[in-house]
Structure 1
């Protein structure tokens, strides 16, 4: 009967910590509604992979030899070998996005680019803390405010902190309504937050909407080829949405495909949350660097708006710059909520939405550029 106690007796304190982490993620998903489609499977997976002699991981059994665990197998084929799961998810994301507000007001492209500042600031900070270039770049990409991009970049660069980066990326995305208002209010005056912006929707033709994903894919393919898988699948999903002849496929991509891939991705990435790889002081530092990246993303977008206002007659509400992060559509909703709190009836949502979808494209391109630059040095 002693074998019945083998599992209990072999539990380590690090594994107990991971049980608590898993329960915390599940609580955030259910009680607080924080990214439940990702945090719930990640939390439950964190418990599964840290059970002693867990059958979800590969293990050698007496008289049987090595057996394949389902989560490790999914990780090997879906993330490590091909990065298939995070890449496929972009088809669904692209099918969800309406680039109309951005195409109607192309200046919003600038805010998507500016709001990636936190990525590069965080990479420099991580390097100063002693992380090697691959790990520093992987930590910095948390600032992309895009979970699949963060997972893919950290995996391609073979980071030692894939699990921590995934948890940080999705946790901070869920905390955008808490993090961003604090940063925005610290950087702007009440008068700036009350700036009204007239929205004159320009007619975006169907031809332009169809041409946009094709043109973006071609341009990015030449400029940042390392990001073409992400950008290409994102743009393909958007083409499904805009072409007008594949409504069923577009709906499938937005709902069935996205939900299925998200479910698999969440529980699969928990393989990187094994206690021996996760419970470490460096993990806490990675989480702090990720927070720094998110904060300076917002700083970059707001600062650009304030600089542009020095040269514009029609002022831009600086909060629109903060919407340039990739957390779509949460960031634009947060900005609109703040505007309404400052002055009832101040509607800047469509401007914020334009900056927000620009951030989605910019974050994916930034991820590809990070891969391209880092691999050229390694």
Structure 2
């Protein structure tokens, strides 16, 4: 009888050792709280819900504590686990090009083609990438890590994941979470910077309506764009190739089914997988380090510099543009590639100062240029260190 009770007691003790309660740490509690905040912001504030719900839930999944020494093959970093197999698409840079394919298939580059000089705003906003790169070097990150951190300033999650997977895979989780967090917080971060750097007169500038763009121009753009950008930065071919391919599927008019698949089911599936696995990669025992916290701070700095860079560049351009052709600097923020959220911010802030001045169509030009610009910047950085 004593042996029976001893067996039961030992069994209960073993069972408890395998529960999450026995393996819980403060780090797990902190990360679970972060995941709940992400879900709250997505549902109640509608901040990028398609990203924050999968990422937030992924954080919960990745921070259910378990006995790591038992080799249960359930953690995202354990070889052979389901999450580890799904995470393969992140660490090998498979998911980001598929996301870019979908973005290309849903993006209309007409506003950019109608006013090509606005492409410069997409380039100017990339100053945040190189600004954060220099700061990261200054505080002690090695060059490869600094480059991967800097790309957060492009406000482009897939590009950040792609570059980090190549240059700093050990920081991939922190960089990805930081990039997507700041993408979601565009409506919170950008308005104060835009208002600080502009005056009332500048905010009321009216821009000429975009000209009509022909179908031929739309078809030629992805072909010419691919050749021009990838001849300069072949390293960015996986991203830019898929972006322009998706756009050609859309604009050709003869591959509607493929374009619909790319911008619908395909991008939705990849978004689910990338969000869940990036969230799960925040496993507290691996993720919660001083470096991760530093990356969040650098990501904020990168994003602020990028936003300010775009707005200031418009102000400089206006010094050389004739009256009637000046650009409203409120669209300078849209040079970051958070499509279409940063363009919507331009519209919302513009309407606060002139309810009849609609800036959305104008802001979409630097916004889509920012997508191209961040991919080109990633290709440049990749060519420096590979």
TM above 0.5, yes or no, is: yes
1:335 aligns with 2:377: no
Aligned match of 2:380: 369
CA 1:54–1:221 in structure 2 vs 1: closer, same or farther (change >3 Å)? farther
Give, in angstroms, the shift of residue 203 of structure 1: 2.9
Relative to the length of structure 1, the TM-score reads: 0.93
CA distance in structure 1 between the aligned counterparts of 2:305 and 2:186, rounded to whole angstroms: 13
Structure 1 gaps, min length 5: none
Which one is further off, 157-166 or 336-345? 157-166
After superposition, what is the alpha-carbon deviation per residue over 1:268-304, rounded to whole angstroms, capped at 9, x for unaligned? 2234311122212221211111111111111111111
In angstroms, what is the RMSD of aligned CA positions? 1.9
Aligned pair partner of 1:286 in 279, 295, 301 = 295
| Distance 1:58-1:198 versus aligned 2 partners, 3 A rule | farther
Counterparts in 2 of 1:53 and 1:233: CA distance versus 1, 3 Å:
same
Q: Aligned partners of 1:337 and 1:50: how far apart in 2?
A: 37
Q: Which has the larger radius of gyration?
A: 2
2:251 to 242, 251, 256: 242
Q: Does 1:184 align with 2:194?
A: yes
CA distance in 1: counterparts of 2:97 and 2:160, whole angstroms: 11
Whether 2:357 is the aligned partner of 1:346: answer yes
Separation in 1, partners of 2:341, 2:36:
25
Alignment-derived partner of residue 113 in structure 1: 123
- Picking from 29, 33, 37, the partner of 2:50 is 37
The aligned runs of 1:13-32 (5 Å cut-off) are 13-32=26-45
- Number of residue pairs aligned between Structure 1 and Structure 2: 367
Q: Name the CA distance, whole Å, in 1 between partners of 2:286 and 2:61.
A: 15
In structure 1, how many angstroms separate the alpha carbons of the residues matched to 2:152 and 2:170?
A: 14
Asked whether 1:273 is paired with 2:286, we answer: no
Asked if the contact 2:219/2:252 (under 8 Å) is kept, the reply is: yes
Give the superposition deviation at 1:373.
1.4
Q: Distance in 1 between matches of 2:181 and 2:38?
A: 9
Unaligned runs of 5+ in 2: 1-11
Q: Is the 8 A contact 2:61 2:280 kept in 1?
A: no
Name whichever of 224-233 and 44-53 sits farther off: 44-53
In structure 2, the residue matched to 1:198 is 208
60, 80, 86: which one aligns with 1:68:
80
SS in structure 2 opposite 1:2? helix
User: Structure 1 pair 134/272, CA: closer, same or farther in 2 (3 Å)?
Assistant: farther
The aligned residue for residue 254 of structure 1 is 263
1:158 Cα deviation from its structure 2 partner: 2.5
